[in-house]
Amino acid sequence: MTKSEFMNYVIAKNHHQSEFIQAVKEVVDSVWEVYEANPVFQAANIMERIVLPDRIIV
């Protein structure tokens, strides 16, 4: 998955949360090279897992 494909995935799942998308983009821009360089991270779907919004049950 490329960086743009990943961002399209995030936008599709969270299209109504513009601040969240902006925050994810900033983080992705910072860490994407490290993510691509480590197949272990890719195999564990680290990027997909860290962009899941918190779910709080009240």
For residue 15, give Cα distances in angstroms to 8, 12, 39: 10, 6, 28
Residue 56 belongs to a domain: no
Q: Which residues contact 14 (CB under 8 A, 6 or more apart)?
A: 20, 21, 24, 53
Residue 55 belongs to a domain: no
Count the domains in the chain: 1
Residue 58 belongs to a domain: no
Q: Which residues contact 11 (CB under 8 A, 6 or more apart)?
A: 21
Residue 57 has pLDDT above 70, yes or no: no
Could you tell me if 27 and 52 are in contact, meaning their C-beta atoms sit under 8 angstroms apart? Answer: no
Full domain range(s) for residue 30: 3-50
Residue 57 belongs to a domain: no
Write the pLDDT tens digit of every residue in 35-45: 999 999 999 99
Residue 30 belongs to a domain: yes
pTM over 0.85: no
Residue 41 belongs to a domain: yes
Residue 14 belongs to a domain: yes
